[in-house]
Amino acid sequence: MKQGRIWHYFQTQHPESFSGAATRLFHLARKLPAASTVLNIGVGSGQFDALASGLGHEVISLDPDTASLARACGGRNAVTGLIQAIPLRDSCVDVVVVSEVLEHLDDDTLDRGLDEIRRVLKDDGLILGTVPYKEDLDQSMVVCPDCGKVFHKVGHVRSFDIPAIHATLENRFRDLHVYRQAFMNTTDLGLPRRLLAWIRNQLVAISLLTRDQTLVFTGRKRPFGK
């Protein structure tokens, strides 16, 4: 599936579609090691870049759509490119963030993209990301009224559970940590909302809240040849 038109549409014409991601992106920004150089793959509305920069990190945004980069971050520290061919030198960033990205990639792109992430990470560098948890892809399929093509409405092509994300990452990354979260669909990062989010995730931990979960994953770069 060629997804460029999907992401150009959402990122340039309807960036408000990302507004509810604030708690997820705040969670990820708070997990970054101090004063990191961060490659964020998939610029979205630019929320993550602003949050991480505000915490003192240097953020480089990678996206295939130049217009999205210009709208989201004014072209500052922006690189037009694809995950499977990242136009950065080897071992140049401390962290690569891939939040809500891997579920969009076919087998070949996923394989090449993870190789590229490993390549640009410094020794012992961190991969940090999220994917939907056990998404039923069939529930979001739509049909084009013009051509009849059936497709996922936001371009997802794969679904992950905890064993699947481990199997996807373990050949290139070590010290994997994968856990479930139920991020709130809100723009509010104030203390009351953060407290409510904490309560919700205690319910996730004891399996009383089972809907609309996200997998968060972290791992460290495996040395090449090992």
Which two structure tokens, joined as six digits, stand for 16? 């408000």
Kindly report whether the global pTM for this prediction surpasses the value 0.95: no
Decide if 20 is inside a domain: yes
In a domain, 21, yes or no: yes
17 occurs within a structural domain: yes
Residue 49 lies in a domain: yes
pLDDT at 92: 97
The verdict on residue 226 lying in a domain is no
Q: Is residue 182 part of a domain?
A: yes
Q: How many domains does the chain have?
A: 1
25, 46 Cβ separation under 8 angstroms = no
Alpha helical stretches, state H, the chain: 4-8, 22-30, 47-54, 66-73, 107-120, 162-169, 191-205
pLDDT at site 225 = 67
Encode 130-156: b = buried (16+ Cβ within 10 Å), e = exposed.
bbbbebeeeeeeeeeeeeeeebbeebb
Low-confidence stretches of the chain (pLDDT < 70) are: 1, 75, 201, 210, 225-226
Can you give the pLDDT at residue 75?
A: 66
pLDDT of 30 = 94
Which pLDDT does position 1 carry in this prediction?
Answer: 60
- pLDDT score recorded for residue 17: 76
